[in-house]
């Protein structure tokens, strides 16, 4: 499900080229239109999903909105994972004042609603993808930090890590052979869940007009634009709503599946004689 939507965002405009900002007011809120027939007898449409209230192709706006939302969310999760894991392992390895300071910052951010933090960054900085990217990263890194710190504490205190330290192996060896194998399943689950949270936040901010400014296509903005016309053209509003729902559902199912797989693997490992 998620892979299909990612492919749509990447290749959708190559399959059916078009401009998401081009307007045809005489086609406002109309369904899909046939503009020609191929040599194979297949009907070629320039707007396979119909048109919005300004006569813009819903298909091309959806493809552009998907690409923008996925790129912002993926960039925010990658930055948050890198910074959170790095700081979490630093806190677990150093301990002392470094751990207390980093934990204080993380707990302070965790006490505030995540959407409020993203909203504050979006208000302070211009409404651009960069502002959303930074705001989401500021919120998401805390979860990765807490997971990395907890895992790091447990693994670094194990006999295997102590033995590798006594044998003279460096920090990179300990990370690659001891820390990362234990952290990877948990972090993959956290990244899938973080992607879902980031996409939901982007859509929510767009819905209240503080996200990506118009006329740039974005899923939340598309919903609020088409909401007044839901009686005249329910298909137009259903398009971004359904795509957002399927994308979030797929990511949440993916995170749950990874968590169950990790738990089952740990159970089997613990059951070995």
Residue 169 binned pLDDT confidence (cut-offs 50, 70, 90): confident
Residue 27: its pLDDT value, please? Answer: 83
Residue 272: its pLDDT value, please? Answer: 39
**Does the pLDDT at position 51 exceed 90?**
no
**Does the pLDDT at position 33 exceed 70?**
no
Residue 42: its pLDDT value, please? Answer: 56
State mean pLDDT over 7-15: 85
Q: How far apart are CA 231 and CA 252, in angstroms?
A: 31
Residue 265: its pLDDT value, please? Answer: 36
Nearest Cα to 219, choosing from 29, 8, 1? 8
State mean pLDDT over 9-15: 84
State mean pLDDT over 21-49: 70
Q: How far apart are CA 164 and CA 28, in angstroms?
A: 68
Q: How far apart are CA 123 and CA 79, in angstroms?
A: 21
Q: How far apart are CA 64 and CA 28, in angstroms?
A: 19
* Average pLDDT score over the chain: 81
pLDDT digits (tens, 9 = 90+) for 193-203: 999 999 998 98
Q: How far apart are CA 77 and CA 192, in angstroms?
A: 9
pTM: 0.83
183 touches 262 (CB < 8 A) = no
**Does the pLDDT at position 12 exceed 50?**
yes
Percent of the chain with pLDDT over 70: 89
Task: Return the ∠ at Cα 137 (arms to 78 and 97), rounded to 5°.
Answer: 100
Strand, coil or helix: what is 168? coil
Residue 270 binned pLDDT confidence (cut-offs 50, 70, 90): very low
pLDDT digits (tens, 9 = 90+) for 73-114: 999 999 999 999 999 888 888 878 888 898 898 888 888 887
CB atoms within 10 A of CB 19: 12
State mean pLDDT over 253-273: 51
Q: What one-character-per-residue DSSP string does 108-125 give? A: HHHHS-HHHHHHHHHHHS
Residue 9: its pLDDT value, please? Answer: 85
H/E run at residue 45: strand 43-47
**Does the pLDDT at position 19 exceed 70?**
yes
State mean pLDDT over 248-262: 73
Higher pLDDT, 131 or 265: 131
**Does the pLDDT at position 218 exceed 70?**
yes
């Amino acid at each position: 499900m998620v892979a299909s939507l990612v492919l749509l965002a990447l290749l959708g405009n190559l399959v059916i080229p078009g401009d998401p900002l081009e307007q045809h007011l005489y086609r406002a809120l109309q369904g899909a239109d046939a503009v020609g027939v191929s040599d194979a007898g297949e009907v070629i449409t320039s707007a396979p999903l119909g048109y919005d209230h300004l006569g813009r192709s819903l298909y091309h706006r959806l493809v552009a909105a998907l690409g923008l939302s996925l790129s912002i969310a993926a960039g925010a999760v990658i930055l948050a994972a890198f910074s959170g894991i790095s700081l979490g392992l630093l806190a677990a390895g150093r301990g002392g004042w470094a751990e207390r300071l980093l934990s204080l910052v993380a707990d302070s951010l965790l006490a505030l609603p995540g959407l409020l933090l993203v909203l504050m960054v979006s208000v302070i900085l211009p409404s651009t993808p960069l502002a959303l990217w930074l705001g989401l990263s500021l919120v998401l890194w805390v979860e990765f930090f807490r997971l990395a710190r907890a895992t790091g504490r447990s693994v670094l205190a194990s006999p295997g890590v102590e033995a590798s330290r006594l044998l003279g192996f460096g920090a990179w060896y300990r990370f690659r052979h001891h820390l990362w194998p234990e952290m990877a399943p948990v972090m993959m689950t956290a990244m899938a869940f973080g992607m879902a949270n980031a996409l939901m936040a982007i859509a929510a901010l767009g819905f209240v007009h503080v996200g990506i400014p118009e006329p740039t296509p974005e899923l939340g903005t598309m919903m609020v634009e088409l909401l007044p016309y839901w009686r005249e053209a329910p298909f137009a509003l259903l398009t971004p709503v359904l795509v957002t729902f399927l994308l979030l559902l797929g990511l949440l199912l993916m995170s749950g599946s990874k968590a169950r797989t990790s738990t089952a693997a740990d159970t089997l490992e613990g059951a070995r004689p």
